Structure 1
Amino acid sequence: MTDRWTETGRSTVFQVMGRTLDKVTYRLPDGTSRDKLLRNEPSAAAVLALTPDNKVIIARQYRPGPDAILLELPGGFIEPGEDPATAAGRELLEETGYKGDLELAGSCWDDAGSTARRWAFVARNCVRVADQDLDEMEFVDVELFTLEEFRQVVRDGLMTDVELAYRGLDHLGLL
């Protein structure tokens, strides 16, 4: 039976950097009650950014979850009250120093245990206009990939933001 669950209680288990891990109690459609952990976190935006010669701008950085240096689309959290497109352009500029013509490619939920919506953008004609302006915990190397190299990285799962990369590639008609 597919019905909405009814929230009957909530408590914060942990809180850090604008994110909380909440224990939420639900009454299920069959009348039973169960606890679930829910990540209450900000939405984010990421950008599939292309230079005028169609090179893809990629961020390479260490990620503690997988304990690996990974490739990523430039992006980050959307600040409270900030428009997703504004956040995408800001994050692209801060992480890479590049700026371009932004287009919305779509959005998706982060996962079933999160409140975050993830926004995918494409930026065409990106040119470097500034130095990186990184946060104290960001150490980002910027790399350029050909479209074919990038598509292979996405196919091989060698990056985060794979679903957003696919949204961008689909928007560009490159799937």
Structure 2
Amino acid sequence: MMRWTVHSERTLYQDPWVHVAAADVELPDGRHLDHRLVRTATAGAGLVLIRHGSVLLMWRHRFITDTYGWEIPIGSIEPGEDPASAAVREAEEETGWRTIGPVEPLLYAQPSPGLMASEHFIFHASEATYVGPPVDDFESDKVEWVPLSDVPSLIRDRRITSGTTMNALLFAIVNKA
């Protein structure tokens, strides 16, 4: 088996949200690497809300890459909260749309497992009602229902670049969620 062995790990930086470490990793052929890794404090939960052939998306600026793009609502799971409840809560806080009816698991993703220990639990729902402006109005410039049929061209045009959003939407399209 091609399993890497971690011999030691040391913290380079840690705060309540992120832990950056260096690990002494032995490769299967015996060579050692001084590998970096990032652990997030909590897992994330997101919601793909599709109704009438459109998906609810947020147009966001990401300062780290200085780019804009469409994303599904996603955020941290609070202590004691189950992932589905977190997805519903985050969607309402970030979009102003409250999910009605069943919320079903869609997919589980590890966004960048070669560098980061981060988990995303993504759910699907098909009914929602507008309850007012987003509580977290700093999250996005706009919230819109985007035709699901536009998703491939939005990806091609780099207007959807978030890996978790891309995975979730393409998975939903393929599985006719």
TM-score, normalisation: structure 1: 0.84
Please say if residues 69 and 158 of structure 2, whose CA atoms lie closer than 8 Å, have aligned partners that are also in contact: no
Who is 1:141 aligned against?
142
Instruction: Give the Å deviation of 1:30.
Output: 2.4
* C-alpha RMSD over aligned residues: 2.2
Instruction: Give the Å deviation of 1:138.
Output: 2.9
The superposition leaves residues 75-130 of structure 1 with CA deviations (integer Å, 9 ceiling, x where unpaired) of 11223443221111111111011122321111121112111122222110121124
Q: Does 1:8 align with 2:7?
A: yes
Question: Against the structure 1 CA distance between its residues 125 and 172, is the aligned structure 2 distance closer, same or farther, given a 3 Å change threshold?
Answer: same
Q: Percent identity?
A: 26
Who is 1:107 aligned against?
108
Who is 1:35 aligned against?
34
- The number of residue pairs the alignment matches comes to 170
Please say if residues 24 and 38 of structure 1, whose CA atoms lie closer than 8 Å, have aligned partners that are also in contact: yes
Who is 1:26 aligned against?
25
List runs of 5+ in structure 2 lacking aligned partners.
none
Partner SS, residue 86 of structure 1: helix
Aligned counterparts, 1:2-151, within 5 A? 2-16=1-15, 18-41=17-40, 42-51=42-51, 53-100=52-99, 101-111=102-112, 112-134=114-136, 138-151=139-152
List runs of 5+ in structure 1 lacking aligned partners.
none
Who is 1:169 aligned against?
173
Partner SS, residue 126 of structure 2: strand
Rounded to whole Å, the distance in 2 between the matches of 1:37 and 1:76 is 24
User: Structure 1 runs of 4+ off > 4 angstroms?
Assistant: none
Please say if residues 121 and 168 of structure 1, whose CA atoms lie closer than 8 Å, have aligned partners that are also in contact: no
